[in-house]
Amino acid sequence: MDAATLQAIALAAALGWASGLRAALVVFVLGAAGLGGWITLPAPLAWLASPLVVGLSSLLAFAGFIADKIPGVDSLSDFAAAPLRVVTGALLAAALVGGNHTLGATLALVVGGGLAAATALTKLATRAAINTTPEPFSNIGASLAEEIAVFGSIWLAWSYPLAWLLLLVALMFGMVWLLRVSARHVRTLLGRLVRAFSGRAERPPAAANAATPAPKPTAAPHSAIADITDVHVVGESAPPKPNR
């Protein structure tokens, strides 16, 4: 495998994965970099560098930048944009790898869409868990981390394709773990809400339901008077009877 093919595969995977986070930002980053002459986009993606595409994607990316940091609004926007993110990731990957190769385009379409779907699903579950906290700082921090991840994944795939592919494998394992933790947290919260609105009390822990052993009967307190009355002096005879 030559360097150009490896870079194309890595970049296609990065575009699919990053599109699941912020599809508009991915399109804007590629288009702005190509329009500014910082990179030379591959021929299948040259249309992203048109001023019209860059302008529209910048507006969408800015709207996503704001909505992604507001608790509650971020989850609604993620839910509404999830299908578009999956389609964008699949089409970008297919356009980059496919070219005149139908089989390569089909595989890239499936892989790019699958990566975008996995990332979008993980983001939905994670943001739902984060939104259970009352403070907004965790939402802002998560949003900034996602934006850095979009820039970082595209740059790493472009500059160091093999390093990005190895990192992507580790990221997939991390996403599976994060998805399980977030889903468990949301499921627990929903269970509590259902019990609260249905009027059912919280289920006590198993330890509280265990029968406690009956307390052992305690011995009666030893009376000091009994000690005095029970004293018998050894060798002392009974008192003499009076003479009549």
User: Within a domain: residue 210?
Assistant: no
User: Within a domain: residue 35?
Assistant: yes
User: Within a domain: residue 40?
Assistant: yes
CA distances (Å), 22 to each of 59, 150, 160, 211, 220, in order? 13, 7, 22, 54, 77
User: Within a domain: residue 191?
Assistant: yes
User: Within a domain: residue 167?
Assistant: yes
User: Within a domain: residue 171?
Assistant: yes
Reported as a single tens digit per residue, the pLDDT across 212-244 is 555 555 555 554 444 444 444 444 445 555 554
Reported as a single tens digit per residue, the pLDDT across 98-151 is 665 678 788 889 999 999 999 999 998 888 888 887 777 888 999 999 999 999
Total domains in the chain come to 1
Q: pTM for this structure?
A: 0.74
User: Within a domain: residue 222?
Assistant: no
User: Within a domain: residue 220?
Assistant: no
Extract the runs of DSSP E, i.e. beta strands, from the chain.
none
Q: Please give the average per-residue pLDDT across 89-97, as a whole number.
A: 89
CA distances (Å), 129 to each of 135, 185, 203, 214, in order? 13, 6, 22, 44
For residue 71, give its domain range. Answer: 3-198
Alpha-carbon gap, residue 206 to 196, rounded angstroms: 20
Q: Please give the average per-residue pLDDT across 45-67, as a whole number.
A: 93
